[in-house]
Amino acid sequence: MLAFSIAEFKERLAKTKLRMQDKGIDVLLVTDPANMNYLTGYDAWSFYVHQLLIVSLEDDQPYWIGRGLDANAARHTTWLDDMHILPYPDHYVQSDVRHPMDFVSGFLRQQQLHNVTIAVEMDAYYFTARSYIHLTKGLPDAEFKDGTNLVNWIRIVKSDQEIEYIKKAAYISEKAMMVAYEQLNEGVRECDVVAAISHAQISGTEEYGGDYPSIVPLLPTGEKTGACHLTWTDETFEEGQPVIIELSGCYKRYHSPLARTAVIGRANEGIQKLSEIVIEGLNAALDTVKPGVSCEEIELAWRASIDKNGIRKESRIGYSAGLNYPPDWGEHTASLRPGDKTILEPNMVFHMIPTIDLGHVGMEISESFRVTETGVEVLADYPRELYIKPNIRLA
């Protein structure tokens, strides 16, 4: 069931250890499920309970620690031998008197790793304040450091196999967006359009199926397009309403997000003009992408384009993306925004989503792209335009 060769997993582990050495870290506790997957292949819906990897400079494999019920998932999905799969008893689960990090600290003491420098992913969604309290209490002689995003920055440059998975996700994104366009119509419920999108995301293609994406389809409609992260309701669409559709295909946990804006019937002049501004700016930013360019230079090209139309946008216009689990498909590393001096390298992947929000209306037209040896490859082959859906009134 391994999605990558053991050699690739070992190369990732070696890069992680080099970064640990550079930062004076002896042991790294990895709680972000995407990083757990990246280093071992572990893939299960088990991140609602505490689980982690222990990466030690002295060991040639990470240790997986998780709930006993999930140990077989580790055996099925990782390259680890059984000595490195350590389940904790179920009485640690959601207990008021003990915590899984007590089990972790006990194991580290047993391994004589109780008085070393230990890094934890302090800003990971899945590492709690209580986890930190129990670790520091159980390991009073250890020095703790912040290891947030240490593995994420290794993930930012993708292997060729990872790019292949992302391209498969991009094709699923195309299919899901096409289904959304087909279902969208006056009188149709928002929830029914999203149901069709979700079916397309999971069914994938005849050649390969899809996975669950890290973010559900987003579908703000009408005046709510000014609030880009709304989901859906059971209300019906009306003629002339703008509808933002943001979604992603997912394949083996790799994503390729895509967003478009549609209008049922006929778009008014303001919405049409706003789409033209977004597309022009998006094209200008994509034309800037190539190895050696910084993230802030890409955003500057976008900013220069929209400035001509008297529009300002303060939030970032994109971020690195790829492997992830709920609640986000972004990698939490490089962002396309002023001040981010990250230099682009081949096989970096970004989701460029330069949303414009005017309060009463918003516009999203996005592209996921790969940095190539000479420039840019847009991953989805989908019309970059405001979609006007001919209104077919329901009887």
Domains of the chain from N-terminus onward: 6-155 (3.40.350.10), 160-389 (3.90.230.10)
Of 146, 144, 162, which Cα lies nearest the Cα of 154?
Answer: 162
Cβ contact 391:264 at 8 Å: yes
CA distance 249 to 198: 9
Confirm if 211 and 251 have CB atoms less than 8 A apart: yes
Q: Are 318 and 335 in contact (CB under 8 A)?
A: yes
Instruction: Identify the helix (H) or strand (E) that includes residue 33.
Output: helix 33-40
**Distance between CA atoms of residues 129 and 139, nearest Å:** 15
- Cβ contact 367:186 at 8 Å: no
What is the crossing angle of helices 6-22 and 33-40, to 10°?
120
Rounded distance between C-alpha atoms, residue 166 and residue 146, angstroms:
30
The 8-class DSSP code of residue 264 comes to E
Q: What distance in Å separates the CA atoms of residue 137 and residue 141, rounded to the nearest whole number?
A: 9
Burial, 191: exposed, middle or buried (Cβ in 10 Å; 0-12, 13-18, 19+)? middle
Q: Does an H or E element contain 129, and which?
A: helix 129-138
Residue 246's identity, in one-letter code, is E
Q: Are strands 254-264 and 242-251 parallel, antiparallel or unpaired?
A: antiparallel
As a whole number of angstroms, the distance between CA 317 and CA 310 comes to 17
Q: Which residues pair with 378 in a beta bridge?
A: 369
Eight-state DSSP code of residue 39: H
Provide the token pair at 226: 């000014």
pLDDT recorded at residue 392:
65
Output the tens digit of pLDDT for each of the chain's 395 residues: 799 999 999 999 999 999 999 999 999 999 999 999 999 999 999 999 999 999 999 999 999 999 999 999 999 999 999 999 999 999 999 999 999 999 999 999 999 999 999 999 999 999 999 999 999 999 999 999 999 999 999 999 999 999 999 999 999 999 999 999 999 999 999 999 999 999 999 999 999 999 999 999 999 999 999 998 999 999 999 999 999 999 999 999 999 999 999 999 988 999 999 999 999 999 999 999 999 999 999 999 999 999 988 888 888 999 999 999 999 999 999 999 999 999 999 999 999 999 898 878 899 999 999 999 999 999 999 999 999 988 766 44
Q: Is 368 exposed, middle or buried (0-12, 13-18, 19+ CB in 10 A)?
A: buried
